[in-house]
Amino acid sequence: MSAAIQVDGLTKRYNSHLAVDDVSFEVRVGEVLGFLGPNGAGKTTTQRMLTGVLKPTGGRALVLGRDIVSDPVGAKERMGVVPEVANPYMEMTASQNMAFAGELYGLPGARIRARSQELLREFNLWERRDDIAKRYSKGMKQRLILAMSLIHEPRVLFLDEPTASLDVESRRMIHGRVRELSGRGAAVFYTTHNIEEANVLCDRVAIIRDGKLVALDTPEALKSTFAMSQSVVVSFSRPVEAAELGALDGVTHVEKHGDKLHLFTAAPGALIERLAGYAQQEHVEIVSINTPGPSLEEVFVSLSSDTSRSGGPR
């Protein structure tokens, strides 16, 4: 796959503060790249440089071959953007907002009308197209913003926390649309705080910490690299004392999560056998048992907090 977004040594400095430090990566055609990091890590600054809002202090970024600094208009024509905090114009209807977005991208009137109808129907806003956006719910406003960003059929999409605090229906709709766009060959740069969202939606995940890219790989590859802890999650037909299970051989510690007990061990296979013996001895039935792998959350927490790690992506 060829690169739709090519980033080389991108750097942003505010006086003595280095907000983004020599970040390099690419987003391939048809790929969804998740961009994760704790608050203040440099996620939004990176997206703003890539979308031409902020001028980089160093490095360069190409969007479908167009340099965002030397040819910002050419690069912006090819991208659709949902900024971190963005609203439609509240005093305007959905149709008027869509028409305005289309005019900003230089589309002819007939094309604007056709695309508006298509997108407003897809995002379940067609019936309310003549309502001013002020009357919309938060999810509807966000869907309208996404529809506006797609009016010119961009081949590259930048989404900054597009599903933050949205209802399930809107979130699913946006996820579905992102998958569909990626399936049609669009490159998606997806900034999110939500690790599970990155896990299920993204082909690869980049993790940024203190302005540096500290990891870049597929979610599964990252998880296997960071297989720091193994565990067995078990639930019984009646409550059992966590301390009793903690006393079993090989259990390093126990955590209770709802009706499940999370038993950490270096040897999950042997522990399962001991749990079966415990259940038989105590006349209690095992309702469920599984051995979850390391989560992307563990990878994220490890990379976000470990100050000893070097800056290069793995």
Side-by-side strand order, sheet with 230-236: 251-257, 260-265, 230-236, 286-290
Distance CA 112, CA 279 (A): 66
Distance CA 313, CA 23 (A): 9
Q: Is 303 in the site for other proteins (CB under 8 A)?
A: no
In the complex, the smallest distance separating the C-beta of residue 50 from other proteins, rounded to whole angstroms, is 10
Stretch in the footprint of other proteins (CB under 8 A) among 84-92, 205-213, 228-236, 288-296: 84-92
Residues 6+ apart with CB under 8 A from 34: 190, 191, 192, 197, 198, 201, 202, 204, 205, 206, 219
Pick from 59, 88, 211, 219: which binds other proteins (CB under 8 A)? 88
Distance CA 232, CA 70 (A): 54
Pick from 3, 29, 92, 240: which binds other proteins (CB under 8 A)? 92
Residue type, 153: E
In the complex, the smallest distance separating the C-beta of residue 126 from other proteins, rounded to whole angstroms, is 22
Pick from 91, 220, 241, 306: which binds other proteins (CB under 8 A)? 91
Stretch in the footprint of other proteins (CB under 8 A) among 79-87, 172-180, 242-250, 275-283: 79-87
Site for other proteins in 99-138 (CB under 8 A): 100-101, 103-106
Residue type, 223: K
Give Cα 137 to chain centroid, integer Å: 23
Cβ distance 173 to 161 under 8 Å?
A: no
Specify the residue for token string 């569909």.
Answer: 180
Q: Residue 270 half-sphere exposure, CB side, CA atoms within 13 Å?
A: 8
Stretch in the footprint of other proteins (CB under 8 A) among 28-36, 77-85, 167-175, 218-226: 77-85
Pick the closer one to other proteins by CB: 162 or 219. Answer: 162
Site for other proteins in 186-245 (CB under 8 A): none
Distance CA 293, CA 302 (A): 15
Please work out the total of residues on this chain that contact other proteins, with binding judged by CB under 8 A. Answer: 32
- x/- mask, other proteins, residues 152-171, rule CB under 8 A, reads ------x-------------
In the complex, the smallest distance separating the C-beta of residue 111 from other proteins, rounded to whole angstroms, is 13
Cβ distance 256 to 289 under 8 Å?
A: no
Site for other proteins in 47-76 (CB under 8 A): 48, 51-54, 72-74, 76
Q: Is 145 in the site for other proteins (CB under 8 A)?
A: yes
Q: Which residues contact other proteins by CB under 8 A?
A: 48, 51-54, 72-74, 76-77, 79, 81, 83-92, 96, 100-101, 103-106, 145, 148, 158
